[in-house]
Amino acid sequence: MADFWKITFDLLNGFQTTFLIWALTLVFALPLGLVISFGSMSKFTPLRYLVKTFVWIIRGIPLMLQIFIIFYVPGFIFGAPVASRFTSAIIAFTINYACYFSEIYRGGIESISRSQYEAGQVLGMTKPQVFFRVILLQVIKRITAPMSNEVITLVKDTALVRVIMVVEIIKVAEDIATTGLIWPLFYTGLYYLMFVGMLTLLFGYIERRLDYFKA
């Protein structure tokens, strides 16, 4: 029984890293995705193609490979490796998820009728005012469901960081498994389930909060 509590606590420690990667990735990737989506909708054709090519590459190769690249390549080429394993992981996840988010944002933004922009324009509103006061909330309402998918997928993708030896919950459990104790590995699933359960409730709440209008 003492074992059980100790392992529960060790796994919780591992899950802290999982949570931190998840949270930091969101903090950086949510706004970066918006910048990328503006780039992919730019009227300046070279920029638009540049951004679209970048998104194609990032979505086209495995996240695991991107983690390796961010961790090893700067060291090979510039002789200046990224400061830490953890930082490399955050950079790789941020870039990867920002690209996925950018496509969701783009879909949401482009789905808003041009007449909403024009209605704001004829009322003398500035372009940023139209975007932030009129368009944005309608976009948020429309992308809540696809975003919840990505945010939940991210929770589980964090397990990939073990490839550059960042120790998150599954790595902790695996290390325990090498001592002959296998059940903690399966026990980790419960942590994910609990956390994703909370996220599901949160997204349900957001959807209900935005239910007051139709768009």
Partner 1 sequence: MAILEVQNVGKWFGSTEVLRDISFVLEKGETLAVIGSSGSGKTTLLRGLNFLERLDTGRIILRGETLFDAARNQDDEQSLREKRLHFGLVFQSFNLFPQYTALENIVLARELAARKLQSYKKNKKSVLDEIRREGMELLDQMGLSAKRDYYPHQLSGGQQQRVAIARALALKPDILCFDEPTSALDPELTGEVLNVIRGLSEKNTTMIIVTHEMPFARQVADTVLFMDGGLVVEYGSPQDVLENPLNDRTKRFLERYANE
Residues lying near partner 1 in the complex (CB under 8 A) are found at 113, 115-116, 118-127, 129, 133-134, 137-138, 141, 212-215
Q: Residue 17 CA to chain centroid, in angstroms? A: 15
**48 with 39: CB under 8 angstroms?**
yes
| Least gap, CB of 116 to partner 1 (angstroms) | 6
| Least gap, CB of 211 to partner 1 (angstroms) | 11
The smaller minimum CB distance to partner 1, of residues 5 and 212, is found at: 212
Residue 124, phi then psi, degrees to nearest 5? 80, 15
The smaller minimum CB distance to partner 1, of residues 87 and 144, is found at: 144
The smaller minimum CB distance to partner 1, of residues 126 and 149, is found at: 126
User: What does the alpha-carbon distance between residue 185 and residue 188 come to, in Å, rounded to a whole number?
Assistant: 6
The smaller minimum CB distance to partner 1, of residues 141 and 162, is found at: 141
197 DSSP assignment: H
| Least gap, CB of 148 to partner 1 (angstroms) | 20
The smaller minimum CB distance to partner 1, of residues 115 and 179, is found at: 115
Using alpha carbons, select from 55, 45, 54 the residue that is nearest to residue 107: 55
| Least gap, CB of 4 to partner 1 (angstroms) | 50
| Least gap, CB of 51 to partner 1 (angstroms) | 24
Q: Is the dihedral of CA 171, 173, 174, 175 positive or negative?
A: positive
Q: Which helix (H) or strand (E) holds 62?
A: none
**Which tokens in the block code for residue 134?**
């009129």
Q: Which helix (H) or strand (E) holds 109?
A: helix 85-111
